């Protein structure tokens, strides 16, 4: 599903991307998650539904009403459609590591069963969405993503990243994961839920892992993003000094990695890819 109301009902970018998959025989529904009828059509007769439609930071904090509509009410629409389906689907809810709250004062890595603490509008809506999925009564899996690093860099993605970076304390722990590894994890989860009923009921993190160099501190993370592009960190005084003022951290991914084997790329692989492009 492609949805970013009210900025655009059918964004040109989504339409363009959909054509690539349509050409390969994939059936595409372009719609609005707040439109129940469009959701119902999209989930009809599906074995697995991967729900990852959401308003993300920084837009979530700039437009809290829209964030709650999409992230919570939109999830309610998905749930309603699944409940009314004769063919019962399993659902994979894409959540966020932000639901763990500010954890820099805790011992790392953060565990999936640790308590959930809302720290902003976005994390609050993701906690609410998780609760709705658990109460649905269908097979589910909840995957909480750490900071996702794109493998396609453009001006738009850089600007979006820059808006968030200056909220991050430079010496705080953070863990990244690459978008292509996230995609691998989601497909692997769907296959395991469908074929072997594995991952059903699991709540776990999708993060890059220590062995791949993806557990770092914010300062090194920013350098790893900007230096291959010929950029450098601005004045360090522009960043917060309280390490516990942001919700990134290092996460326990032993179980999800054991099941899914998705941690396939290192930070060095990302640098090589960006330099090549």
- Looking up residue 254, the CATH number of its domain turns out to be 3.40.50.720
At 2 the pLDDT is 35
Number of domains in the chain: 1
Please indicate, yes or no, if residue 225 is contained in any of the structural domains: yes
The maximal CA–CA distance of the chain, rounded, in angstroms, is 58
Q: Residue 270 sits in which domain range?
A: 33-276
- Residue-wise burial string across 123-136, b where 16 or more C-beta atoms lie within 10 A, e elsewhere: bbbbbbbbeebeeb
176 DSSP 8-state letter:
E
Q: What is the rounded distance in angstroms from the CA atom of residue 125 to the CA atom of residue 72?
A: 6
Q: What is the rounded distance in angstroms from the CA atom of residue 247 to the CA atom of residue 174?
A: 9
User: What are the φ and ψ backbone dihedral angles of 49, each rounded to 5 degrees?
Assistant: -115, 120
Please indicate, yes or no, if residue 6 is contained in any of the structural domains: no
Please indicate, yes or no, if residue 164 is contained in any of the structural domains: yes
How do residues 206-255 score in pLDDT, each as one tens digit? 999 999 999 999 999 888 877 777 778 778 898 999 999 989 999 999 99
Instruction: Read off the pTM.
Output: 0.91
At 10 the pLDDT is 54
Question: Quick one: which of 273, 246, 234 has its CA closest to 149?
Answer: 273
At 5 the pLDDT is 42
Q: Is 22 exposed, middle or buried (0-12, 13-18, 19+ CB in 10 A)?
A: exposed
Three-class HEC string of 86-98:
CCCCEEEEEEEHH
Tokens encoding 237: 């005084």
Residue 191: partners with Cβ closer than 8 Å, 6 or more residues away = none
Tokens encoding 87: 């063919």
Please indicate, yes or no, if residue 153 is contained in any of the structural domains: yes
Classified as helix, coil or strand, 206 is strand
Please indicate, yes or no, if residue 150 is contained in any of the structural domains: yes
Residue with tokens 């557990």: 215
Question: Quick one: which of 135, 120, 119, 145 has its CA closest to 50?
Answer: 145
pLDDT tens-place values along the chain, 277 residues long: 333 344 454 578 788 888 888 989 999 988 899 999 999 999 999 999 999 999 999 899 999 999 999 999 999 999 999 999 988 899 999 999 999 999 999 999 999 999 999 999 999 999 999 999 999 999 999 999 999 988 887 767 677 777 788 889 999 999 999 999 999 999 999 999 998 889 999 999 999 999 999 999 999 988 887 777 777 877 889 899 999 998 999 999 999 999 999 999 998 998 888 778 7
Q: What is the rounded distance in angstroms from the CA atom of residue 83 to the CA atom of residue 90?
A: 11
Please indicate, yes or no, if residue 22 is contained in any of the structural domains: no
Please indicate, yes or no, if residue 11 is contained in any of the structural domains: no
Please indicate, yes or no, if residue 26 is contained in any of the structural domains: no
């Amino acid at each position: 599903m492609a949805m970013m109301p009210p900025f655009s009902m059918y964004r040109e970018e989504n339409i363009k991307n959909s054509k690539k998959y349509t050409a390969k025989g994939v059936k595409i529904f372009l719609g609005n998650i707040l439109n129940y009828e469009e959701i119902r059509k999209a989930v009809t007769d599906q074995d697995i539904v991967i729900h990852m439609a959401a308003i993300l930071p920084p837009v979530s904090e700039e437009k809290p009403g829209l964030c709650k509509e999409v992230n919570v009410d939109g999830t309610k629409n998905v749930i309603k459609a699944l409940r009314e389906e004769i063919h019962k689907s399993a659902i994979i809810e894409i959540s966020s590591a932000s639901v763990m709250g500010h954890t820099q004062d805790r011992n790392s890595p953060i565990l999936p069963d640790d308590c959930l603490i809302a720290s902003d509008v976005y994390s609050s809506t993701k906690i609410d969405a998780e609760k709705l999925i658990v109460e649905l009564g269908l097979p589910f899996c909840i995957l909480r993503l750490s900071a996702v690093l794109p493998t396609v860099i453009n001006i738009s993605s850089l600007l979006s990243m820059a808006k968030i970076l200056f909220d991050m304390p430079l010496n705080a722990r953070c863990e990244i994961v690459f978008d292509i590894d996230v995609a691998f994890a989601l497909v692997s989860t769907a296959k395991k839920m469908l074929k072997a009923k594995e991952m059903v009921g699991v709540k776990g993190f999708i993060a890059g892992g220590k062995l791949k160099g993806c557990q770092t501190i914010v300062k090194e993370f920013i350098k790893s993003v900007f230096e291959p592009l010929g950029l450098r960190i601005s004045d360090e005084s522009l960043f917060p000094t309280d390490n516990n003022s942001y919700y990134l951290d290092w996460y326990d991914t032993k179980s999800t990695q054991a099941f899914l084997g998705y941690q396939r790329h290192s930070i060095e692989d990302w640098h090589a890819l960006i330099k090549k492009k």
